[in-house]
Amino acid sequence: MQKAHDASKNDWWRNLPDITTPITQDELNRNETTVDVIDDRVIVLDSSKANQTDMLQAVRSIGYTAATGTFRVTFFNGTYIDIDTDIEKIAINFDYDNNPTSPTYQKIIITLQDGTKKYIDLSALITEYEFKSSQTIQAIVSGGEVSFEVINGSITEDKLEPNFLANCRIEVALAEGYAEDSEAWAVGQRQGVDVPDTDETYQNNSKYYSQQSEGSAQSALETKGECEDILEQVQAAASNFQFWVDYETGEMMYEDTSNYSFAINTTTGNLEWEVVA
């Protein structure tokens, strides 16, 4: 905005007897024009200025208390209002307690601006309603821990690997074959039928050898009985003769009342005997 009146000169008017600055029309008109411009500007200022009531409600100052996070707004009329922003509760640090022996184990620790600490228990965020069980899988929540368990008898063919059943059938067939082989090697039969002589298990199985063992055992018992009979005969015969050494001749002498004859084989040195007819 430019000045309405040029007052750069300080000698516009002079007192008598100096008449070099007469009051002329031009000078008076210049002053009138200046006054008119100033008057217009005053009107504009008056119409745009704030009234006293509004000014008294205007903000004079704003203060802040860091400890409480509160702003105080003071007005020109002396009143004020406090605005609590909770800035002091803004988190300035986060931590997580993973020490199993700590009372705050598995909790997030939030340190606020004012030094206080807040604890968030992560296990509390897990509830049984966040996990939906199905007909196959059952979700189990206990002590903040989640486990999953397959429901007994719930696995159907559509849940199996495509070749799984085929592999199972192959293994079953192999198992059945092994079962027949086991039966053949054990008792010489396949599905209850005696194996033919072309089968490698024919007379080459546990049952066959068991039967052979039983026959051998019976033969051994019979042989044992025969040996016992002979032993009894020998013992009976031995009671009928006596042996002694003739120290003058160095010969072994015997006296026999039985049907046995004894002689020393001079070639072998063996005592030989025979039954006398």
Question: Quick one: 139 and 194 in the same domain?
Answer: no
Whether 159 is covered by a domain: the verdict is: no
Whether 107 is covered by a domain: the verdict is: yes
Whether 158 is covered by a domain: the verdict is: no
pLDDT tens for 179-235 read 888 887 877 888 888 888 888 888 888 887 787 778 777 777 777 777 676 666 656
Question: Quick one: 80 and 45 in the same domain?
Answer: no
Q: What is the value of pTM for the model shown?
A: 0.26
Question: Quick one: 44 and 62 in the same domain?
Answer: no
**Looking at 37, 63, 88, which one is the last position of a domain?**
88
pLDDT at 144: 61
Whether 13 is covered by a domain: the verdict is: yes
Structural domain range at position 249: 240-275
Report the number of distinct structural domains present in the chain.
Answer: 5
Q: List Cβ neighbours of 165 (8 Å cut-off, separation of 6 or more).
A: 157
Whether 234 is covered by a domain: the verdict is: no
Q: pLDDT higher for 177 or 182?
A: 182
Whether 68 is covered by a domain: the verdict is: yes
Question: Quick one: 169 and 224 in the same domain?
Answer: yes
Question: Quick one: 210 and 244 in the same domain?
Answer: no
**Looking at 65, 88, 111, which one is the last position of a domain?**
88
pLDDT tens for 18-75 read 888 788 888 888 888 888 988 988 888 888 887 777 777 888 898 888 777 788 899 8
Residue 129 has pLDDT above 60, yes or no: no
pLDDT tens for 71-128 read 889 988 889 998 887 766 666 677 888 888 888 887 888 887 677 788 887 766 666 5
Q: Residue 156 corresponds to which tokens in the numbers above?
A: 């159907």
